[in-house]
Structure 1
Amino acid sequence: MSQPFSLKIFVATGDPDGLRIVERSNWIGKAIVFPRPLLPTIKQREEFAQTGVYLLLGPRPDGDGEMIYIGEGDPVRPRMENHFSNKDFWTRAVFFVAGSGQLNKAHVQFLESQLIQRAKDAKRMRLENIKSETEPTLSEADRADMLVFLDHMLSMLPVLGISAFEMTRATDIRVADITLLNCVGKGLKAQGYESNQGFVVKANSQASVELTASMQQQMHGIVDLRQDLIANEVLQRVGDCYVFKQDYSFSSPSTAAAIILGRSANGRTEWKDETGRTLKEIQTQQAGL
């Protein structure tokens, strides 16, 4: 079970959208979060002279959703300066460093490799990295320390608005607390449930092969997401339909329903429990309205 923790956020420029220094209770590391335009004026800070692992985030070329690039620097500053000049897509960045001497080149290469693999496994965001980085050999003690460092990073990132590494964690929810819902249409059946991460569609759920003309013309973001799911083998063709090969978390029940049915869909009415109650009716009842 996840343990509670606290974060301290220092807004260094006085602008909530500007430079933020984020520290976690009882941890040697910290995150530096900033928008791209600020780099020239903040790169003299001591954190940029330290060894760290970083994430660059920005819109996809089609404008629907974000993509991410993962890297490491020893120190961070030259890598950031290079990406400022040569990588166009990113609009914001976050990097993690620790106290003096706490991280070395092998440490951050290990963290980079782990983050790339986890982003590929989660399949939540398009990865800009062309190739995987080879994981360096660490001593048993260093590896254990870096796995703890990685775990703290991963727990902080969703709070910072970065969900690229989040795996669907069915074990975090007691079975008794799950209201399992069905989405049915075109001879297809899918099952899912609401979670803290979004709306989870369960493995072995079915999805339509065909898309309506209106969806192709007007819902480019959903169509692109669907293509990503196919390319990443979350959806695989089985006979006359696609099948989810893993539990997958969507941002909303409507997005999940649209992917499954191949058309525009209101998830609050498409998803129903075994008695036929819609998600909207269930939510209304739970709210006591």
Structure 2
Amino acid sequence: MPKFQQRPFSITIFVPDGDPDSLRLVEKSNWTGIGVVFNRTNYKQVVLQEEFERTGVYVLVGDSETSGLPTIYIGEGDPVKYRLNSHYSQKDFWDWAVFFVTKDSSLNKAHVQYLEARLIELARAAKQCKLANNQSPAAPSLSKAQTADVESFLADMLSIFPLVGLGVFEATESSPKAQQQMFYIASKGIKASGYEDPKGFVVLKGSQVMKTEAPSIGPYLKALRTDLLDGGVIALSGEYYVLTQDYVFTSPSTASSVVQGRRSNGRADWKTKDGVTLREIQESAAGLVENSGE
């Protein structure tokens, strides 16, 4: 699976009716695409926008009381309006959605079918969500030139998703860089390691996870551990579970709580090899920043 190169860019977000919780149109520098973000509650009003009349690919997003991960559904439409109309009346789980079209209507049916298949592939690999799609459609055959163009469009989409609150398509594949501070947990026979990352806190493949759970762990963390087990992110290995891949958690505390099977303050529990806590590292860094401004 190709890794998309990161590069500097700027975006603009236009709010047509002045309400930041309503329709948002997201554009990126030097890009023909446009992202459209909206809440389900105002769908009847926003569907009148011209962007809904174009060919595109969409993602429906919702939370679940039984899962620690967001639930998403990926689809395509030519135009998107008619598919979204159907989901508005027939799918209950989603609370908001985002879709991508182009300003010049250069996306065709085959293009968006390709994008749909690739997004489903990426979501399954990243294991950062519950995917409501029951099938994995095969991508249509495109010429080499068309494939390159659509992959470039996909890369731009992937750079925008996290900016609108949807970070579920990128698997944690990179090894920690030499300058990254490593942190460890050694508790009750388990050993885990990880590091801070712009996306959250990464726990490394091979880290051990407590099999048992404290009664006070809470429904969210309990559900998240179940999701990770069901998705194969953690697997049984002797007396403990073990991470089968590098995995990014939303916070150090979520990471340490999943690892230890109990509620945990990650800033206190993640420590360097010398026993320095993540909190102490962060406080020291904050002090350096304050002093540099004097």
**TM-score normalized with structure 1 length:** 0.95
Higher mean displacement: 122-131 or 145-154? 122-131
Residues 32 and 104 of structure 2 are in contact (CA less than 8 Å); yes or no, is this contact kept in structure 1? no
Give the total of aligned pairs: 284
Distance 1:48 1:264 in 2: 44
Task: Output the CA distance in 1 between the equivalents of 2:256 and 2:107.
Answer: 45
* d(CA) in 2 for partners of 1:237, 1:111: 35
Report the Cα distance in structure 1 between the residues aligned to 2:227 and 2:69, rounded to whole angstroms: 11
1:50 aligns with 2:54: yes
Q: Which moved more, 1:17-26 or 1:92-101?
A: 92-101
* Deviation, structure 1 residue 101: 3.9
Letter in 2 for 1:111: L
Report 1:30-179 matches (<5 A): 30-62=34-66, 64-170=68-174, 174-175=177-178, 177-179=179-181
SS of residue matched to 2:287: coil
Aligned to 1:29: 33
In the other structure, the counterpart of 2:291 is none
- SS at structure 2 position matched to 1:39: helix
SS in 2 for 1:236: strand
1:209 to 208, 211, 214: 211
**How far apart, CA to CA, are the structure 2 residues paired with 1:147 and 1:257?**
36
Q: For residue 68 of structure 1, report the CA deviation from its aligned partner.
A: 0.8
Give the match for residue 278 of structure 1.
277
- Secondary structure of the 2:262 match is coil
Equivalent-residue separation in structure 1 for 2:180 and 2:45 (angstroms):
49
Q: Is the 8 A contact 2:23 2:38 kept in 1?
A: yes
**How far apart are residue 64 of structure 1 and its match?**
4.7
Counterpart secondary structure, 2:75: strand
Counterpart-to-counterpart distance in 2, 1:63 and 1:201: 20
SS of corresponding position for 2:157: helix
Q: Which string of whole-angstrom CA distances, capped at 9 and with x for unpartnered residues, describes residues 172-221 of structure 1? A: x631x211110111100000010101000001100011111222xxx111
State the identity as a percent. 46
**What secondary structure is seen at the aligned counterpart in 2 of 1:55?**
strand
Moved more, 240-249 or 62-71: 62-71
CA contact (8 A) 2:67 2:227 kept: no
**Pick from 188, 197, 200: which aligns with 1:198?**
200
Task: Give 5+ residue unaligned stretches, structure 2.
Answer: 289-294
1:257–1:271 contact (8 Å) kept in structure 2: yes
Corresponding residue number in structure 1 for 2:18? 14
Distance in structure 2 (CA, Å) of the matches to 1:112 and 1:77: 16
| Maintained 8 Å contact 1:65/1:221 | no
Task: State the distance in 1 between where 2:26 and 2:134 align.
Answer: 29
Instruction: Let me know the Cα RMSD of the aligned residues.
Output: 1.4
**Is the contact made by 2:69 and 2:128 (CA closer than 8 Å) also made in structure 1?**
no
Distance 1:125 1:234 in 2: 12
Within 5 Å, give how 1:218-257 maps onto structure 2.
219-257=218-256
Residue type of the alignment partner of 2:71: M
Moved over 6 A (4+): none
CA contact (8 A) 1:11 1:18 kept: yes
Secondary structure of 1:147's counterpart equals: helix
What's the CA shift for 1:240?
A: 1.1
- Unaligned runs of at least 5 residues, structure 1: none
Deviation string 1:39-71 (CA, Å, 9 cap, x unpaired) is 212222221111000011111143754211110
